[in-house]
Structure 1
């Protein structure tokens, strides 16, 4: 929820033969007041307005990255837009599994003159899946290495892992739990809105972990769920931030340091419970998402998983900030040729399905 990431990709072939080349990438930050509006959306009118306003912002970003590459809109075949998640309710949270991403595709198509594929999660959920994670297909197409097993750890608002080997059907992928969402909420409170995140780990470096609070956090019912599983704002969002803020502490920084330890420990325990017993060893863990730019988090995550190598995705020559946008460019391209891109072993869907809806 911090920025629009826009990429331009050249994609050839499909499925196991697909080749993706990153042509251009730019990031357009959201202003703090806009972030707060999205975070606090609670009435239908605001949701309706934000849906169209986000469509405008996404269209602007798409046109900007096309111009940045020295191309014209007519040179582009398709836009893939994931949208902003405002609710994600898998079967573990609701008797009616559902998900909602906003950022009106019709606005993007009208402003750019380019067809848009959007709403990628709904078809997987209709097929009995969690609707997440969807990035494993991209990880397998772009980053698999013959004979090696690699883990791709995203630490965004929520943290998720894809473990990729030679075969798509052998992928293990699931949400590990909290990422930056709690850290971001506490950073806003500690700095009274001056910071939107734990920038460069500067806040979490100043505090001390509160063991009793960390122990309580690790009893969250999400961690009792085996994969496939997905998490969202409902479990690790503002309600949890408010609960933490009300806990006794020596200083506010103790809370954000404890929240960072929560992300590190929850992620590491997911590896110990589900990844390492299945694969034994990994070539390395490659980290992307905003958490990979937090040096305090990376230091403590690396120490917790040692001697397993932990690297940023940039080590593979791909800018981590471009990864998720490139993922949905690939999923949009595969939609056009009718190639299924969900991974049932990751989402729990009954079958492989073509993801997304096309807006001409």
Structure 2
């Protein structure tokens, strides 16, 4: 296995693979990017994107109860699945493994415990980097969240650096709303120090869990909004959901399955198991209202004029959710990220390609205004 190439010249183009399996636990997303420069001068060009879905039975294993043995096995099995996705994206690009400088792998989040949830803030992503490096013969940067947490941060969100580096526009303020399993926003102007970013709350996680229950596992999500459109929100239940203690936390804040995962899905299902479509409609309204209230509380008072809100993540592919969110946030324009010429499904994986490239150059890539860290730090650990 070759060592990483010399990072002495940041203007030299670097070919970087990015890998992530998000909080929705549906697939490995893999991208290949060409990256030049660093910090304010960095540029990123997306070359190829591959999505490798997980089998339903594997999703259930990841979401199910865990012990030390199951986590140990999943770590290596996920490593194999990430390696396969990385190989697929390199092959699709018509390149050899030796052409690639580095792989940035976020892994699969199994637990995320910021200060609001634990007296010992911590985070755990699986997908063994040594397996990926060994299978492909390419250095891997992984475990991006831990250094920010060690520096007093939440370890999330990490995508604001990418949003600022790739999408900032002189003279404009743009919001980038990701609706994955968890929803988060980055508000980006010209200066990195002015970025506001935080988790807004639930994204698709509750919807996905209810969809699996409603369809007996035949659907893993509210596909095209077809399930939630069959029902109507239950007002009292929605009002109860919006009292969740997470929403009382000011930014910086981060969320995960601990607050909006299977325990909450089970609670909702127990309330009205005979009204599954209404539960789906309530969950969709919950995501929309929680996100809109976050804008009203923290974004719009600070940024009086947003060029637009650009939406990515699985939620952007749910027309029922997008219709409700667009209406709720009006008159602020809401647009899919694709209108900027960047495919939304590739965004998060591309973020970790960028973070890996910055790691090789020793460039700090966390955003303390977003995570609450005491200082900027270099993210990730290198497996040569």
The reply to whether TM is greater than 0.5 is yes
Equivalent-residue separation in structure 2 for 1:211 and 1:124 (angstroms): 39
- 1:119 pairs, out of 143, 153, 166, with 143
Matched, 1:244 2:271: no
Per-residue Cα deviation, 1:84-109 (whole angstroms, up to 9, x for no partner) = 00000000000000000000000000
- 1:39 pairs, out of 59, 63, 70, with 63
Equivalent-residue separation in structure 1 for 2:235 and 2:379 (angstroms): 43
Equivalent-residue separation in structure 2 for 1:41 and 1:311 (angstroms): 38
Query: Which residue in the other structure is 2:40 paired with?
Result: 16
TM-score in terms of structure 2 length = 0.93
- 1:169 pairs, out of 161, 177, 193, with 193
Query: Which residue in the other structure is 1:277 paired with?
Result: 301
Equivalent-residue separation in structure 1 for 2:359 and 2:264 (angstroms): 37
Equivalent-residue separation in structure 2 for 1:16 and 1:147 (angstroms): 16
The aligned length equals: 360
- 1:211 pairs, out of 227, 230, 235, with 235
Shift of 1:248: 3.0
TM-score in terms of structure 1 length = 0.99
SS in structure 1 opposite 2:305? coil
Per-residue Cα deviation, 1:101-135 (whole angstroms, up to 9, x for no partner) = 00000000000000000000000000000000000
Equivalent-residue separation in structure 1 for 2:68 and 2:315 (angstroms): 32
SS in structure 1 opposite 2:46? strand
8 Å CA contact 1:41–1:47 kept in 2: the answer is no
Which stretches of structure 1, 4 residues or more, deviate above 3 A after TM superposition?
A: none
Gaps of 5+ in 1: none
The equivalences for 1:1-360 within 5 A come to 1-248=25-272, 251-360=275-384
Shift of 1:43: 1.0
Gaps of 5+ in 2: 1-24
Shift of 1:41: 3.7
8 Å CA contact 2:272–2:279 kept in 1: the answer is no
Query: Which residue in the other structure is 2:12 paired with?
Result: none
SS in structure 2 opposite 1:277? coil
Per-residue Cα deviation, 1:295-347 (whole angstroms, up to 9, x for no partner) = 00000000000111101100000000000000000000000000000000000
SS in structure 1 opposite 2:300? helix
SS in structure 1 opposite 2:175? strand
Equivalent-residue separation in structure 1 for 2:255 and 2:155 (angstroms): 10
Query: Which residue in the other structure is 2:3 paired with?
Result: none
Shift of 1:249: 6.6
Shift of 1:251: 1.9
8 Å CA contact 1:174–1:230 kept in 2: the answer is yes
SS in structure 2 opposite 1:133? coil
Shift of 1:250: 5.8
Q: CA RMSD, aligned part only?
A: 0.6
8 Å CA contact 1:8–1:22 kept in 2: the answer is yes
Equivalent-residue separation in structure 2 for 1:180 and 1:141 (angstroms): 26
